Chains A and B, each alone.
Chain A
Amino acid sequence: MSRQRAVAVVGFAQSPCRPEAGTTSGVETLVPVFQRALAEAGLARREVDFWCSGSCDYLAGRAFSFVNAVDAIGAYPPICESHVEMDAAWACYEAYVKILAGEADTALVYGFGKSSAGELPRVLALQLDPYVTAPLWPDSVSIAALQARLACERGILTERDMAEVAVRSRVDAAANPCAQVAGATTAETLLAAPYVADPLRAHDCAPVSDGAAALVLAASDRARELRDRPAWIAGMAHRIDPQGLGERDLAAVPSARAAAEAAGVAGDLDVAELHAPFTHQELLLRAALGLGDSVRINPSGGALCGNPMFSAGLARIGAAAEQVMSGRAGRAVGHATSGPALQQNLVCVLEAEQ
């Protein structure tokens, strides 16, 4: 049996997170993102062996929206392409497996979404159990609030802890040109605001964002040719909890814990980019992934400062990879979530050396 191939992130780019990004199709938003990601990887468009995207038709209310977006790839003559109806972090997993299997040496993974086209908290109700839950149209913010209260009343976290997550995120986001929300504030200021969905206030919830992101992957020697310091994928895994909200422990996030263990998170980590669309979810994820105080969380500002659906998870892997590629971190974690109240979780461990 041949030695297993190694796969690395060699380029990453994202569009600014905007409350309203114009065109519904996503194609125009993607064009400059592809150009920047490929330029960063030093790869020509025609040298990409495999393209894989994540998006959701319900977001823009357009059937087969990912097919339109393929125009931005330049799909003629025909290319090798795939799509997941999930955050593009899962498209990244598909591309990773494709490269490991030896079917491609390079891949470009992208995600896009115009969350502002519809009423996002209502649209997301359609990902719930279609028999007993979705027909009630519970919105995504209310579902997150049920999880936050469980965690608060169990003594795992407090509303002040949650506000402090928002403060740290906004301060860090000031250095991120793609952030939608940023700036200095204090927990006292944030806690004076009214509840959006008790115990969640506005600062506890990610903004509604439009945007896109792209990540370039390459195998072994190809990665070394393209970059001096690729971000090697040391482990990647995803796990899923039962669909029924009452069937799992919402405050413990078992699927995140299982994914972290399978991906090999344990060890000295410098940075973790966690896809937490709500403040309490960052705290639950830190516990589930076993991240100590020495791990720097979300230096990009995270999803709380810009949460373009279906690319925000991929952008966490990209932001973690950037930390490694730039030399600011030796070992980093990128995490993505999907589904209600952290139902599905993907963990990607990135390292400087292979």
Chain B
Amino acid sequence: MADLSIDFAGIRSPNPFWLASAPPANSGEQVMRAFDAGWGGAVWKTLGDPIVNVSSRFGAVDYAGQKVMGFNNIELITDRGLEVNLREIREVKKRYPKHAVIASLMTETKEDWKVLIRRCEDAGVDGLELNFGCPHGMCERGMGSSVGQEPKLLQEITAWTKEFAKTPVLVKLTPNIGDILDPGIAAVKGGADGLSLINTIKSIIGVDLNRLVPEPRVGNASTNGGYCGPAVKPIAMHMVASLARDPEVTIPISGIGGISNWRDAAEFIALGSTSVQVCTAVMHYGFRIVEDMIDGLSNYLDEQGMTSVRQLVGRAIPGFREWGDLDLGYQIVAKIDANKCIGCQLCVAACQDGAHQCIFTGPNDQQRPPHAHYPGTATAPRPQILGTVAGDRVPWVDEPECVGCNLCALVCPVPGCITMQETATETGDTWNRRVQEGRDKIPGGIHE
């Protein structure tokens, strides 16, 4: 069985699964139950001067029967006294010395940072995470994302904390910026030992159409909140990968954003995360989800022939190229397995209306589409392919016209029914190469 333990900038954890700083890591009692369930670490709910929260404070997007595809909150940092939290942290560290306990912090003045760091380290935390991400409530007070959005300020405050901290300092970034590299590199320059991202994305989760008030509703009003959950995963992965690829970013990354199972975690790790943090999925299903995360990741590593999770870190990064370096000669086309097809013709609707008009039905439907570079008719295969279940409702692909965009395969409800098959493998012809060799002018442009 693969070794799941990690060393994150000196913070050791039996596995890469940490609770993100959020309601699941709000109290000692919760964190201890999480550790019992298998979580390797916890970033405590952000400490600072206790705040007053509103009611209600959460909202969710459900999609096609799936609950909580996206989640948002207008909650602030901890509403519990510092002393209570520190006492509990001390207790947790005493009982779980091998697990990682990281204090998330947010405050204003240099002096306050000094006090907060000292008191947390005295309580025995393994590391610190600076919350420069909260996009509501705290930023108006000059904290949270208002720091994360100002690379200079972020660098300065990071440097202050490094003056005082004896344990590793992680900087948690906000995604509410133009380019994640700016705050990321500022954190590195400020001396951070690690990066955590993403915090939540500024959002309005919905509108109550009966009362005509945004949600989550506080009396007869609401405000923008922070978006998270499965829906934000692609955005978070892009930001993690973007930092992981950058040569200036030499410190480890803790990946956060929509991680719900081992597959999500493995993807984040392959894109350069050393640890992963989870909030929404725990809020939805509880601590128990970590069992499959550990089990699934471990099975996956075994199947891949990797002996430790460290071997997976960043393994998908070389597979990332800039657009201009992608192979222009590589070609795939759609193939429909007539015997799997159920005849819903969603691929036809998608290709006709949303792609390149090259999927047809029946032998007489062969009007060559307006998109075509030359007029003519598509040629239906002879004999017409009949499906075992869908009969003559099985559509057919005009292969020479198929641009291999994938859309039909994405919308087909039957797994494995439409596959995209290679017709030409890599040729090495890229846009950048064309530019270099002066082959970048294609007929039909502006200057003809």
Q: Do A and B originate from a single complex?
A: no
Which A residues fall within an 8 A CB radius of B? Answer: none
